[in-house]
């Protein structure tokens, strides 16, 4: 790969692009807000919900990735994003005469509708009962209809830095075990998913699809029990199974044999390895987070590079490594005009106003692999809001601070 287009540069797409840039691959990122892309990406501003202008796509692309996320969990949003979005991309590439060597679609194991806990692989029937799986399967049909060599990577549930919602719910006592037979979940660490996308794009003779999950499907109760034990929160309560629960829409165990035989190596072979690595990262429950030496806003901490021994933007890096672990909590960064000399952060209350008129930046995690920024210029009570993929958050924060 030398010239790559990543459509939908969210959390996973941006992480993939940053990985490819380290390999000296030229990366174009297509999204609606190109100002949120890392500076090392070449921007392509477009909305995949609409037909694409043929002139916006770069020439001589060898690889194209389609890695998008629906705006909402609804059939309309899924169809617009995955099915129509991919159609718009394919038509623009075809009409523009692009000779793409590889088109890779980040699909999902939701294309399998099995409910009996059976094992599935790439040859298993794909008969999803829910709209999410049906839309993914229809998008795979769009992919297969192209003249290029294309690959659908069917990933399981993604977890990792910034995607620790389940772990945070267990820690907060908001999860419980369910009565009844085993309900299996299939997981993949975000780092392994990014590696798998890179891997299948480089295969000389790829298969049409690959299942991307770790080695060990796990019963949901076993996973929650292990997390509770590892987090030392005590036994979880047991409740009756609820009807129409989202986690009960499928019950299967996915095999990754084809991906392994292609030569891919997982860094995190199972949920234990992945979550143990995640637990070693800074947490909002660390003493550093709870330190409150100053009066005023709740939890104000003067931040003089306490984690790194450095100041300014360099000191902000461990702060952002810290922020990326949050799922539902919120931190606020209050920036002194000199910035380099004085950085504060506030938690856990979101920043909703700016009565003091100071320059401030509020940082909040969302459920779609993004960070929500609220920026208040000095002397203003009006804020501008925008979202950015977690992988690009530090780069964007630097640019926000430069404007305050």
- Kindly report, residue by residue over 262-305, the tens digit of the pLDDT: 999 999 999 999 998 888 654 433 333 332 222 222 222 223 23
The pLDDT score that the predictor gives to residue 400 is 47
User: Where is average pLDDT lowest: 109-118, 240-249, 294-303, 305-314?
Assistant: 294-303
> Please, what is the end-to-end C-alpha distance for the chain in angstroms?
39
Does the pLDDT of residue 63 top 80, yes or no?
yes
Alpha-helix runs per DSSP H in 22-98: 75-78, 85-95
Show the tokens assigned to 315. Answer: 């000191």
The pLDDT score that the predictor gives to residue 397 is 53
Beta bridge partners of 27: 4
Encode 239-249: b = buried (16+ Cβ within 10 Å), e = exposed: eeeeeeeeeee
SS (H, E, C) 165-225: HHHHHHHCCCCCEECCCCCEECEEEHHHHHHHHHHHHHCCCCCCEEEECCCCCEEHHHHHH
323 sits in which H/E element? helix 312-323
The pLDDT score that the predictor gives to residue 282 is 41
Q: Above pLDDT 90, what percent of the chain?
A: 54
**For 175-210, how does the pLDDT look when each residue is reduced to its tens digit (9 = 90+)?**
999 999 999 999 999 999 999 999 999 999 999 999
Residue among 186, 338, 188 at smallest CA distance from 252: 186
The pLDDT score that the predictor gives to residue 75 is 96
d(CA 301, CA 297): 10
Residue 36's pLDDT band (cuts 50, 70, 90): confident
Residue among 323, 325, 11, 324 at smallest CA distance from 194: 11
Does the pLDDT of residue 375 top 80, yes or no?
no
Number of helical (H) and strand (E) elements in the chain, helices listed first: 12, 21
The pLDDT score that the predictor gives to residue 372 is 65
Burial of 125 per CB tally in 10 Å (0-12, 13-18, 19+): exposed
Does the pLDDT of residue 50 top 80, yes or no?
yes
More confident residue, 41 or 343: 41
Residue 356, φ and ψ in degrees, nearest 5: -80, -10
β-strand pairing of 26-31 with 3-7: parallel
Q: Are residues 171 and 231 in contact, defined by beta-carbon separation less than 8 angstroms?
A: yes
pTM of the model: 0.73
Domains and CATH numbers, the chain: 3-279 (3.40.50.720), 287-403 (no CATH)
Residue 390's pLDDT band (cuts 50, 70, 90): low
Does the pLDDT of residue 307 top 70, yes or no?
no
Residue among 92, 63, 48, 65 at smallest CA distance from 152: 65
């Amino acid at each position: 790969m030398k010239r790559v287009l990543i459509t939908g540069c969210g959390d996973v797409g941006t992480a993939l692009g940053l990985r490819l840039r380290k390999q000296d691959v030229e990366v174009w990122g297509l999204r609606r807000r190109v100002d949120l892309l890392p500076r090392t990406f070449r921007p392509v501003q477009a909305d995949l919900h609409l037909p694409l202008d043929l002139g916006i796509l770069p020439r001589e692309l060898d690889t194209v990735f389609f890695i998008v996320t629906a705006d909402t969990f609804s059939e309309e949003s899924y169809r617009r994003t995955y099915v129509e979005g991919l159609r718009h991309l394919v038509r623009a590439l075809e009409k523009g005469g692009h000779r793409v060597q590889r088109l890779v679609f980040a699909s999902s194991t939701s294309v399998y509708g099995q409910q009996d806990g059976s094992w599935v692989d790439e040859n298993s029937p794909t008969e999803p009962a829910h709209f999410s799986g049906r839309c993914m399967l229809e998008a795979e049909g769009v992919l297969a209809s192209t003249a290029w060599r294309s690959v659908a990577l069917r990933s399981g549930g993604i977890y990792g830095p910034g995607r620790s919602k389940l772990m945070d719910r267990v820690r907060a006592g908001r999860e419980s075990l369910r009565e009844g037979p085993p309900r299996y979940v299939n997981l993949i660490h975000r780092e392994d998913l990014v590696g798998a996308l890179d891997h299948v794009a480089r295969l000389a003779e790829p298969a049409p699809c690959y299942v991307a999950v770790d080695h060990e499907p796990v019963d949901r109760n076993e996973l929650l029990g292990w997390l509770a034990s590892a987090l030392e929160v005590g036994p979880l309560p047991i409740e009756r199974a609820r009807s129409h629960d989202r986690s009960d829409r499928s019950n299967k165990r996915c095999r990754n044999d084809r991906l392994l035989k292609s030569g891919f190596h997982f860094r995190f072979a199972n949920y234990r390895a992945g979550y143990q690595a995640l637990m070693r990262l800074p947490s909002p429950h660390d003493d550093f987070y709870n330190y409150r030496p100053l009066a005023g806003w709740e939890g104000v901490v003067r931040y003089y590079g306490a984690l790194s021994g450095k100041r300014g933007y360099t000191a902000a890096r461990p702060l952002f490594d810290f922020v990326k672990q949050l799922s539902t909590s919120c931190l606020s960064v209050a920036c002194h005009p000199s910035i380099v000399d004085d950085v504060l952060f506030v938690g856990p209350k979101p920043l909703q106003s700016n009565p003091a008129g100071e320059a401030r930046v509020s940082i909040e995690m969302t459920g779609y692999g993004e960070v929500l920024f609220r920026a208040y210029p000095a002397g203003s009570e009006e804020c501008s809001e925008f979202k950015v993929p977690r992988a690009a958050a530090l780069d964007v924060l630097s640019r926000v601070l430069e404007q305050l």
